[in-house]
Structure 1
Amino acid sequence: MSKQFNADNKKTNFPWFALAFLSVFIIAGIGGCIAFFLDGQIGAGLTFSMMFCGIAGLMMTLLVYGHRKALAEQSMLLGEKPADGIASNNKSGYQAMLGMGAVFFAIGVPISFVAISDELPKANYAVLLVLVFPLIGALLLWQGRTKVKHWQKIGKTPFYPEPFPGCVGGQVGGYFTLQHGRFEQMPQAELSCVHVYQSGSGKNRTTHRKHIWSSQCNVSRTVDGKHRLVFDVPAELPVTGEDSRYRGRIEWQLSCNGELQQASERLKFNRKWTLPVIAGNARSAWQPSAAEVELQQQQRQVAAFDAAASQIKQQVQGDTLYLTSEPGRHTGTASTLIIVGAIFSGAGVFLSYKALDETAMLWLMALIFTPVGLLTLLFGLFWLGRGLKASVSPGQVWIQRSMFGIQLYQRRAQLTTEQQLSIKQTLSSTSGEGKRTEYFRLQADIDGKTLVLAEGITGRDAAEALKLQVAEALIR
Structure 2
Amino acid sequence: MLQKLKERWVLFLFGAPFAAVGLGFLFWGIVPQFAEWTAMKRWEPVQARILSAEMKHHRSDDSTTYSLHATYRYQYQGQNYTGNRVGISSSSDNVGDYHRRVIGPLERAERNGSTVTAWVNPKQPDQAVLNRELRLSLLLFKGVFALVFGGVGLGMWAYVFIARPDKTNVTESEAQQQPWLSRNDWASATIKSDGKTGMWALWAFAAFWNLISLPAAIGAVGEALEGNHVAWVAVLFPLVGAGIAFWAIKLTLAWRRFGPASVTLDPYPGSIGGQVGGALEVALPYQPDNSFAVTLQCLHSYYTGSGKNRKRRESVVWQSEGIAQTARAAHGTRVEWLFDVDEGLPASEPPGNRYHLWRVNIKCELPGADFDRNYEIPVFATAEKAQQLGDVTTSNQHPEMAQQREQLLEELFDVRQVPGGVILHYPAFRNWSTMLVLIVAGAICAGIGLWLDPYGFPECIFTIAGLLMFFGGLYSLCSSLDVRIDRTELITRRRILGVGLGNKHTPRSEITKLFIDESYSSSTGNKHTTYYKIKARLRSGDKKTISHSLPGRELAQEALESLSLLTGVPC
Moved more, 439-448 or 323-332: 439-448
Shift of 1:194: 0.8
Please give the residue correspondences for 1:185-334 in structure 2 after superposition, counting only pairs within 5 Å: 185-221=290-326, 224=329, 226-242=334-350, 248-260=354-366, 265=367, 268-289=370-391, 292=393, 296=397, 300-301=401-402, 303-334=404-435
Corresponding residue to 1:78 among 173, 182, 185: 182
Give the conservation status (yes or no) of the 8 Å contact 1:442–1:455: yes
SS at match of 1:28: helix
1:193 to 1:74, Cα distance in 2 relative to 1, 3 A: farther
Q: Distance in 1 between matches of 2:440 and 2:328?
A: 49
SS at match of 2:282: coil
SS at match of 1:289: coil
Q: Distance in 1 between matches of 2:437 and 2:187?
A: 41
Corresponding residue to 1:392 among 485, 488, 492: 485
SS at match of 1:57: helix
Give the conservation status (yes or no) of the 8 Å contact 2:17–2:153: no
Calculate the aligned-residue CA RMSD, in Å. 4.2
Gapped runs of 5+ residues in structure 1? 1-6, 356-362
**What letter matches 1:392 in structure 2?**
I
The equivalent of 1:445 in structure 2 is: 537
The equivalent of 2:282 in structure 1 is: 178
Give the conservation status (yes or no) of the 8 Å contact 1:106–1:134: no
**What letter matches 1:213 in structure 2?**
W
Identity %: 21
The reply on whether 1:351 has 2:445 as its aligned counterpart is no
SS at match of 2:464: helix
TM-score (norm 2): 0.66
Please give the residue correspondences for 1:354-373 in structure 2 after superposition, counting only pairs within 5 Å: 363=456, 366-367=459-460, 369-373=462-466
* Larger relative contact order (CA 8 Å, sep ≥ 6): 1
Q: Distance in 2 between matches of 1:305 and 1:388?
A: 20
Please give the residue correspondences for 1:370-385 in structure 2 after superposition, counting only pairs within 5 Å: 370-385=463-478
Q: Distance in 2 between matches of 1:286 and 1:98?
A: 38
**What letter matches 2:413 in structure 1?**
I
Q: Distance in 2 between matches of 1:48 and 1:331?
A: 37
Shift of 1:301: 4.8
The equivalent of 2:46 in structure 1 is: none
The equivalent of 2:260 in structure 1 is: 156
Q: Alpha-carbon deviations, 1:127-151, whole Å to 9, x = none?
A: 7666664454444333443444345
Shift of 1:49: 7.7
Give the conservation status (yes or no) of the 8 Å contact 2:286–2:328: no
Q: Alpha-carbon deviations, 1:82-138, whole Å to 9, x = none?
A: 789433224544554454455445444555676898799898x77766666445444
1:112 to 1:218, Cα distance in 2 relative to 1, 3 A: closer
Q: Distance in 1 between matches of 2:213 and 2:476?
A: 35
**What letter matches 1:159 in structure 2?**
V
Q: Alpha-carbon deviations, 1:399-436, whole Å to 9, x = none?
A: 0111222212321113448753222232322335x343
1:405 to 1:270, Cα distance in 2 relative to 1, 3 A: farther
SS at match of 1:426: strand
TM-score (norm 1): 0.78
The equivalent of 1:475 in structure 2 is: 568
1:388 to 1:338, Cα distance in 2 relative to 1, 3 A: same
SS at match of 2:337: strand
Q: Distance in 2 between matches of 1:106 and 1:396?
A: 67
Give the conservation status (yes or no) of the 8 Å contact 1:79–1:164: no
1:455 to 1:234, Cα distance in 2 relative to 1, 3 A: closer
Question: Highest Rg: 1 or 2?
Answer: 2
Corresponding residue to 1:336 among 425, 429, 437: 437
Q: Distance in 2 between matches of 1:327 and 1:466?
A: 20
**When the two structures are aligned, how many residues end up with a matched partner?**
453
1:461 to 1:235, Cα distance in 2 relative to 1, 3 A: closer
Corresponding residue to 1:21 among 17, 24, 27: 17
Shift of 1:306: 3.8
Q: Distance in 2 between matches of 1:324 and 1:180?
A: 43
Corresponding residue to 1:403 among 493, 496, 516: 496
Give the conservation status (yes or no) of the 8 Å contact 1:73–1:276: no
Q: Distance in 1 between matches of 2:472 and 2:514?
A: 25
Q: Distance in 2 between matches of 1:26 and 1:420?
A: 60
Give the conservation status (yes or no) of the 8 Å contact 1:324–1:454: no
Give the conservation status (yes or no) of the 8 Å contact 1:438–1:458: yes
Give the conservation status (yes or no) of the 8 Å contact 1:351–1:365: no
The equivalent of 1:358 in structure 2 is: none
1:27 to 1:430, Cα distance in 2 relative to 1, 3 A: closer
The equivalent of 2:245 in structure 1 is: 141
1:285 to 1:475, Cα distance in 2 relative to 1, 3 A: closer
Q: Distance in 2 between matches of 1:200 and 1:367?
A: 18
Shift of 1:191: 1.7
Shift of 1:391: 0.4
